[in-house]
Amino acid sequence: MRRLKTKGRKQNAQKKRRTLKLRARKETQKYTNVNCCMCDRKVKKEGTLIPRKCLSKHGEKAAHRICQACWFNPVSGFALESGKHECPGCRKKLSLTKYPYVKPVMIDLVSE
């Protein structure tokens, strides 16, 4: 009887660890994917560009982002010379990009 109880405890601990890992993975994916303010598609943060006016107004972490497909679109792209270069996210009054607060870590470099 004892062995069955310990086996169940180990399985429960493994399930808990698995669910914690999945939650952590979902949290990181939540902040690596952002919405394009022109086409409203979810794209990876690394594949996006920020309009200059929005960057100077809100900073890199909160500025609206545009995917490369919308930025360089030859018909209705953001980078066309004839188009307006105002941020489309600010024009549409969309919410800013949100990132989690990372608590700074203090490291003691002085050892006695």
- 112 residues of the chain, pLDDT tens digit each: 455 555 666 777 777 777 777 776 666 555 578 889 999 898 888 888 999 999 999 888 889 999 999 999 988 888 888 888 889 899 889 888 776 666 667 776 776 5
Q: Does residue 54 fall inside a structural domain? A: yes
Q: Does residue 112 fall inside a structural domain? A: no
d(CA 59, CA 49): 13
Backbone angles phi, psi at 42, to 5 degrees: -85, 125
Q: Could you list the residue range(s) of the whole structural domain that residue 87 is in?
A: 2-91
Q: Decide: 87 and 95 in contact? Cβ < 8 Å.
A: no
**Which residues on adjacent β-strands are paired with residue 36?**
65
Q: Does residue 62 fall inside a structural domain? A: yes
d(CA 62, CA 11): 42
Q: Does residue 75 fall inside a structural domain? A: yes
Tally of domains within the chain: 1
The amino acid at residue 25 is R
Longest dimension (CA), the chain: 78
Q: Does residue 104 fall inside a structural domain? A: no
Q: Does residue 7 fall inside a structural domain? A: yes
Is the pTM here over 0.75, yes or no?
no
Q: Does residue 102 fall inside a structural domain? A: no
Q: Does residue 68 fall inside a structural domain? A: yes
